[in-house]
């Protein structure tokens, strides 16, 4: 029996409706031409691109954006952060600081570090609370007139924590800084237009919302200056050269049109709740995040269990351990930033669901995880001490902030 796929935060399956639309564009009778060409074939391709752009703007709920097509959110994050930093360095701007949270995606953190190396920017990683949120007080204390950019993810890719953008954005605006939102995990997971109307730059990725891999977008306000990362034929106003992949762009547009609505989000939240109930049977389950987080993402840790042994015990169950994009086997930097000790962060599982997840998938996965944890705890001296009351989970792992237990 094929195990359930419960790693939607890493990537999503292609929606059959999106696949059908893309297939209709392929072949000599389809829309295959270069959209920069002036002939009839090119104009047909340009119309497809324009239609997809309208879907992006509709998703953002704001038409004052230029859509720059990229290979995905990683490139979009780099263009937003490094492109802005290079533009500031070239014109000698006085704003030289970039603020990010310590829980941002590796694409944001790495791009910010590159901006420090290549453009002389000063990067500050802001701490988050134990529940993963950035507090307005923490952000306000770091803001000053020399801040150029604040980069935040409305939805964290590992924990599903939703940042309070409505309360944070006015603070950024008050000092005249730009706000970048890495919204790859947010589409279909937060109410729309939600945080986008507050942003100057927004990164999107198709494969996080049942669209094709290899296509994303950076949405940029008309008054934001960016230095290009790629040079060539001057496409997309010179900000990102290269022939546009019409089929992929059309697929992204369709995927955004089919994005999860409120009813589907509610269904996923119910499945998430059912999963939490199932995992409670293991006892002593630590919830990493907030109950009001994204409905599709659940991150849990299992005290008394070795992380590597847990991975082996879960076998082919398609769940996540940290971020699929990090390329590391060590403890999650996100959970570390939330105050989780390495041993507990390492014994964590991210279970993320989507529109094709069924109740049977949740029940089977919950039973498999509970059985694996029970077997490993049966040979764990640490768990024996916790069970017998000789130690608490908090004291066993040396945490200073009480852990939220399921």
At residue 289, the pLDDT reads 94
Q: Would 4 be classed as within a structural domain? A: no
Asked if 219 and 88 sit in the same domain, the reply is yes
Q: Which tens digits make up the pLDDT trace of 294-315?
A: 999 999 999 999 999 999 999 9
Q: Which residues contact 64 (CB under 8 A, 6 or more apart)?
A: 221, 222
Query: Sorting pLDDT into bands at 50, 70 and 90, what band is 50?
Result: very high
Residue with the bigger pLDDT between 86 and 329: it is 86
Q: What are phi and psi of 324, to 5 degrees?
A: -65, -15
Q: Give Cα separations from 15 to 12, 184, 210 (angstroms).
A: 9, 17, 5
Asked if 62 and 148 sit in the same domain, the reply is yes
Asked if 238 and 321 sit in the same domain, the reply is no
Q: Which residues contact 338 (CB under 8 A, 6 or more apart)?
A: 103, 128, 129, 130, 131, 132, 159, 288
List the structure tokens of 160: 């599903």
Give the range of the structural domain holding residue 247, as residue numbers without chain letter.
31-257
Q: Would 19 be classed as within a structural domain? A: no
* Last residue of one domain, picked from the residues 226, 257, 288: 257
Asked if 57 and 91 sit in the same domain, the reply is yes
pLDDT of 234 higher than 60:
yes
Q: For the chain, how are helix, strand and coil distributed in percent, rounded to 5?
A: 40, 15, 45
Q: Would 164 be classed as within a structural domain? A: yes
**How far is the C-alpha of 405 from the C-alpha of 288, rounded, in Å?**
9
pLDDT of 141 higher than 70:
yes
CB 79 within 8 A of CB 217: no
List the structure tokens of 111: 């791009």
Q: Would 2 be classed as within a structural domain? A: no
Residue 162 DSSP label: B
* Last residue of one domain, picked from the residues 232, 257, 282: 257
At residue 328, the pLDDT reads 55
Asked if 197 and 292 sit in the same domain, the reply is no
pTM of the model: 0.94
pLDDT of 110 higher than 60:
yes
At residue 329, the pLDDT reads 61
325 is catalytic: yes
Q: What are phi and psi of 42, to 5 degrees?
A: -65, -40
Give the bridge partners for 352, in sequence order.
7, 297
Give the bridge partners for 5, in sequence order.
318
Q: Which tens digits make up the pLDDT trace of 237-264?
A: 889 999 999 999 999 999 999 999 999 9
* Last residue of one domain, picked from the residues 210, 233, 257: 257
Number of domains the chain is built from: 2
**How far is the C-alpha of 72 from the C-alpha of 119, rounded, in Å?**
23
- In Å, how far from its chain's centre is CA 264? 19
Asked if 333 and 235 sit in the same domain, the reply is no
Q: Would 131 be classed as within a structural domain? A: yes
Which residue, chain included where needed, has tokens 């990102």? 240
């Amino acid at each position: 029996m094929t195990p359930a796929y419960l790693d939607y935060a890493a990537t999503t399956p292609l929606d059959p409706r999106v696949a059908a639309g893309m297939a209709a564009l392929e072949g000599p009778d389809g829309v295959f031409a270069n959209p920069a060409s002036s002939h009839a074939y090119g104009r047909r391709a340009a119309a497809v691109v324009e239609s997809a752009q309208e879907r992006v703007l509709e998703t953002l709920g704001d038409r004052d954006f230029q859509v720059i097509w990229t290979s995905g959110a990683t490139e979009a994050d780099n263009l937003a952060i490094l492109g802005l930093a290079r533009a500031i360095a070239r014109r000698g701007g006085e704003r030289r600081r970039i603020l990010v949270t310590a829980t941002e995606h590796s694409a944001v953190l790495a791009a910010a570090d590159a901006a420090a190396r290549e453009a002389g920017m000063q990067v500050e990683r802001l701490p988050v609370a134990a529940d993963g949120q950035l507090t307005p007080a923490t952000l306000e204390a770091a803001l000053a007139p020399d801040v150029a950019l604040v980069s935040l993810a409305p939805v964290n890719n590992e924990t599903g924590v939703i940042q309070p953008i409505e309360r944070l954005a006015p603070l950024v605006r008050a000092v005249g800084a730009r706000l970048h939102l890495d919204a790859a995990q947010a589409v279909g997971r937060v109410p729309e237009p939600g945080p986008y109307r507050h942003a100057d730059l927004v990164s999107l990725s198709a494969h996080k919302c049942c669209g094709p891999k290899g296509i994303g977008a950076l949405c940029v306000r008309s008054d934001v200056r960016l230095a290009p990362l790629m040079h060539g034929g001057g496409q997309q106003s010179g900000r990102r050269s290269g022939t546009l992949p019409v089929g992929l762009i059309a697929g992204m547009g369709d995927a955004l049109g089919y994005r999860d609505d409120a009813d589907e989000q509610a269904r996923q939240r119910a499945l998430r709740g059912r999963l939490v109930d199932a995992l409670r049977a293991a006892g002593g389950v630590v919830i990493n995040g907030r109950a009001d987080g994204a409905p599709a993402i659940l991150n849990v840790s299992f005290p008394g269990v070795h992380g590597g042994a847990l991975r082996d015990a879960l076998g082919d169950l398609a769940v996540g351990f940290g971020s699929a994009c990090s390329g590391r086997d060590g403890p999650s930097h996100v959970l570390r930033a939330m105050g989780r000790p390495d041993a507990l962060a390492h014994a964590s599982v991210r279970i993320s669901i989507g529109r094709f997840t069924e109740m049977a998938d949740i029940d089977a996965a919950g039973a498999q995880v509970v059985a694996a944890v029970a077997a490993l705890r049966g040979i764990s001296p640490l768990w024996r001490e916790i069970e017998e009351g000789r130690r608490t989970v908090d004291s066993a792992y040396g945490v200073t902030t009480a852990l939220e237990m399921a």
